[in-house]
Amino acid sequence: MQVESTRMFRVKAVADMLDVSVNTIYRAVETGELNALKIGKALRIPGAALNAYLSQCAEPVDAQVLSDQVASVADAGTAQDAAITSEVSR
């Protein structure tokens, strides 16, 4: 995801774009992970800073790890279904 580098964004707009809470964005600014500018009392995030943050945060998902997690959840659901069926049969 790339945004226009010359544009300035409100904290809420960035949070909505990334589907995270506003607090997550404020925390990233406080820790220095995401650069922001204070204009009067308003905090604005430059598009270039947002692009840098996104490239820094991006973690590729390992398909095998994801597959293993899905299989684990499916196995747990199957075991629960079997236990419920066993209880109902009694």
pLDDT tens-digit map of 33-76:
999 999 999 999 999 999 999 988 877 666 665 566 677 776 66
Q: Which of 4-13, 19-28, 34-43, 50-59 bottoms out in mean pLDDT, i.e. has the lowest?
A: 50-59
Domain count, the chain: 2
Within 6-62, residue ranges assigned H as helices are: 11-18, 22-30, 47-57
**Model confidence at 24: pLDDT above 70:** yes
Q: Are residues 53 and 65 in the same domain?
A: no
Host domain of residue 74 = 61-90
Q: Are residues 68 and 53 in the same domain?
A: no
Mean of all residue pLDDT scores within the chain = 82
Q: Are residues 51 and 78 in the same domain?
A: no
Dihedral angle of Cα 27, 28, 31, 34, to the nearest 10 degrees: -150
Determine contact, residues 47/7, Cβ cutoff 8 Å.
Answer: yes
How far is residue 63's CA from residue 13's CA, in Å, rounded to a whole number? Answer: 30
Share of the chain above pLDDT 90, in %: 53
pTM over 0.85: no
Let me know if residue 45 belongs to a domain. Answer: yes
Determine contact, residues 60/70, Cβ cutoff 8 Å.
Answer: no
Q: Are residues 12 and 49 in the same domain?
A: yes
Let me know if residue 2 belongs to a domain. Answer: no
